[in-house]
A and B are shown apart, each in its own frame.
Chain A
Amino acid sequence: MKFEKVEGVDKGKIVLYALSTCVWCKRTKQFLSNLGVKFEYIFVDLLQGTERDSIMKDVEKWNPRCSFPTMVIGDSKCIVGFKEDEIREALK
């Protein structure tokens, strides 16, 4: 699966599931970049077929509503939506 990697301070694994057209997703990605943390992201709408299905299964595990952006921190915490305060708190 082709996750894009953004370099930065290592705060553990941070994965952002996003849509290429979604502005809240873009804001979240920008926010993470500004925080300067290392993370990876994927634009689910650009995937097709089985690749999309398999990523959506992962998203559903964390966020049964399957909405975007969905962010998973350290394989343990999930933040849905562009929640600046929550993200900042979780990455302190």
Chain B
Amino acid sequence: MSDTQNLFAKLDSDARKNGYFLNPDSAFTMELVEGLLANEKRFGHQACPCRLADGNRQEDLDIICPCDYRDADLDDFGACYCALYVSKDIAEGKAKAEPLPDRRPMKRDERQQFREKKAGTGASGLSHPVWRCRVCGYLAARDEPPGVCPICKATKDRFDRFM
């Protein structure tokens, strides 16, 4: 198998295991996988193919694929910015992936703020709800529960708000 096919197979199997879906348009997806490999080759890390990477890992941390913005874009638009990851509806051909606006903050300090919010720092309490899988107890601090529990594969509707 070529490097592209290998990486595709790995991403596809990871996605399935964790309740994510790759874009079913295989030509489109393969080109994105090639982009990830091209970035790995020139930068040493798999920076997002559809964003202008700096090349320095520290500068690019938030856009190393899967980027910090994927889940929010999947929740709001049914696809990540590049449309490598898509919703179940799009994966099943019931909807089409459309281009979406980039939510990555333009400036470095805004990115830092986004990260701190995501990490839930600050005295004011939690920045995100915490969801608990009723089946295995897995906890996830994010805006929405995951599509399936990455540990026991229970579906999203089996999560309760925990905190």
On A, residues with C-beta under 8 Å from B are: 19-26, 44-45, 56, 64-68, 81-83
Can you report 24 A-B residue pairs in the complex whose CB atoms are below 8 A from each other? A19-B52, A21-B35, A21-B38, A21-B39, A21-B49, A22-B35, A22-B49, A22-B51, A22-B82, A23-B28, A23-B32, A23-B50, A23-B83, A24-B50, A26-B31, A44-B52, A56-B52, A65-B102, A66-B106, A67-B101, A67-B102, A68-B52, A82-B99, A83-B99
CA distance A65 to B107 in the complex (A): 10
The docked-state distance in angstroms from the alpha carbon of A26 to that of B29 is 13
Contact status of A65 and B50, CB under 8 A, knowing A21-B39, A22-B35, A23-B32: no
Q: How large is the interface on B (under 10, 10 to 19, 20 to 34, 35 or more residues)?
A: 20 to 34
A26 to B51, CA, bound (A): 13
CB neighbours of B100 from chain A (8 A): 81
